[in-house]
Amino acid sequence: MSEGYKIEIVNPERSFLSKEGVSEVVVPAFEGDMGILKDHISIISFLKPGIIRVFEGSNEETYYVEDGIIEFKDNCLSILTSNIFDIKKVDKSIVKNALAKAEQDVEKTDISDQKKYLLDQKIEVLKSISLN
């Protein structure tokens, strides 16, 4: 399997990334990380805060997402998200701010369990990013 498939990441403001020939993408799906290879069955799922890894041959690109939805169909992976950044290029202060905000939010008592779970995830991921 030499050829890869197409990936498109869009956020409301613009098309964030569009690439042909990726071999594997690992997405932080709601029920656990999920690796998608070529000719995967059509799937719709949504994301929790985490890291998207895009593999293109020996290249690896990593992006942080906060939420979103993915659709895979006919060897085309579309990721819709409202909050995404490239981990290598991002300003450290943005990560810190997001982390601080998440830590503040998680202290609130009036949030649902699901939200709390998502926030915990977010803090964990953001911490791991800021350490690198």
Partner 1 sequence: MASLDDLKKRITSVKSTQKITKAMKMVAASKLRRAQESAEKGRPYSDKMNNIILNLSNNISDKDNAPKLLAGSGEDKVHLCVVMTSDRGLCGGFNTNIIKKAKTYFKKNSDNGKTLKIITVGSKGYDQLKRSYKDNIIEKISFKESKYANYFDADKVAKIIIDKFEKKEFDVCTIFYNQFKNVITQVPQEQQIIPLKVSKIDGNSSKDNYEFEPEEDEILSNLLPKNISTQIFKAMLENSASEQGSRMSAMDNATRNAGEMVDKLTIQYNRSRQAAITKELIEIISGAESL
Binding site for partner 1 (CB under 8 A): 8, 10-15, 29-31, 34, 41-46, 69, 71, 73, 78, 80, 82
Helices then strands, each counted (H, E), the chain: 2, 10
Query: Nearer Cβ to partner 1, position 36 or 54?
Result: 36
Residue 92, SS3? helix
Residue 66: CB minimum distance to partner 1, A: 12
Residue 10: CB minimum distance to partner 1, A: 5
Query: Nearer Cβ to partner 1, position 97 or 128?
Result: 97
The residues, ordered by sequence, that sit 6+ positions from 5 with a Cβ below 8 Å of its Cβ are 20, 21, 22, 38, 75, 76, 77
Where on the phi/psi map is residue 96: left (φ > 0), alpha (ψ -120 to 50), or beta?
Answer: alpha
Query: Nearer Cβ to partner 1, position 82 or 128?
Result: 82
